[in-house]
Amino acid sequence: MRAIGYTKSLPIDDPQSLVDLDLPKPEATGRDLLVEVKAVSVNPVDTKIRQRREDPDGTPQVLGWDASGVVVAVGPDVTGFKVGDDVFYAGAIDRPGTNSEYHLVDERIVGHKPQSLDWAQAAALPLTSVTAWETLFDRLDVRKPVPGAANAILIIGGAGGVGSITIQLARQLTDLTVIATASRDETRGWVEELGAHHVIDHRKPLAAQVEALGLGAPGFVFSTTHTDEHIAEIGELLAPQGRLALIDDPKTLDIVPLKQKSISVHWELMYTRSLFQTADMGEQGVLLDEVARLLDAGTIRTTLAENFGRIDAANLRKAHERIESHTAKGKIVLEGF
């Protein structure tokens, strides 16, 4: 089968950083679905893994943790899907990725594709939707107010893939006032269009900008990027007993300044459930089906911003380059082999 991968961690401007491959077609066993991949999206995790992980024996590494496609075979223990079902999902970080013509995935982390979306529109959503949902409702527990705090959330990095869906879920499923950060006219317009009540600039001190809104100190902050650079400002602007969630990978993070306010810190990694085969692993499939329902109802919309064309090494290198430039908004998708 056709696939895209690499054997050595190389800079993205090296033609060997991602190459076209011919790999054996996998077979479905256990609770796995074999999916014919129709579209994929590219996430920051793709670039991070490419830069950090290679097999010492030279086994090709296949990236990709978002896909939409059609189930073409099921393992003997599968109960929730059948051949011919249209699906979307983000996969597991400890298994080969979705940048391949056929892909194996555990049925518990798969959702039924939204009927109103095409392949590319659907592929833009799984990883970011799971991340946003788990952050809002499992980690930050935003439906439980912080006593005395403004019923508001600050989303740092609002125009990125995760921020773009978090804004929508927070706006449509909660009564939170949504504050998002964006620094360019293009990205400010994007987050406003997605439903942010207020937009502030993450290149300027955050606390003063939040205070100027006149809402009071927010109960929640979701930091999607550069948390280490913003941590002091986050401690200043959050209400006492507020909650901070983050998803990025700061080399160091000094959270001691948060102690005086008893601010709690919550990490979110959407791969945790699949990586450790947790008892509630199936919740990811459930929430993806709910996201599909919200999309089909028109309550939220896809975050697809750019389609880079056919799924091949050349186009994936371009997508990785854009992600690494930190100028992307929404999601970048590739479609068809």
Per-residue model confidence as pLDDT tens digits over 176-193: 999 999 999 999 999 999
Residue 159: per-residue pLDDT: 95
Check pLDDT > 90 for residue 211.
yes
- Mean pLDDT of the 82-111 span: 98
The answer to whether 7 touches 55, Cβ cutoff 8 Å, is yes
Does residue 328 have a pLDDT over 90? no
Q: What is the pLDDT of residue 267?
A: 97
Interval 307-320: pLDDT, tens = 999 999 999 999 99
Token couple for 126: 């799984």
Q: How confident is the model at residue 273 (pLDDT cuts 50, 70, 90)?
A: very high
pLDDT of residue 183: 93
Asked whether the predicted pLDDT for residue 327 surpasses 90, the reply is no
Predicted confidence at residue 151, as pLDDT, reads 98
Q: What is the pLDDT of residue 295?
A: 98
Taking residues 140-155, what's their average pLDDT?
98
Look at residue 37 in the predicted model and tell me its pLDDT. 98
Percent of the chain with pLDDT over 90: 97
Does residue 78 contact residue 259 with C-beta atoms inside 8 Å?
no
CB atoms within 10 A of CB 91: 25
Structure tokens at 53: 């992980």
For all residues of the chain together, what is the average pLDDT? 97
Closest CA to 23 of 60, 58, 54, 49: 60
Mean pLDDT confidence for 57-73: 96
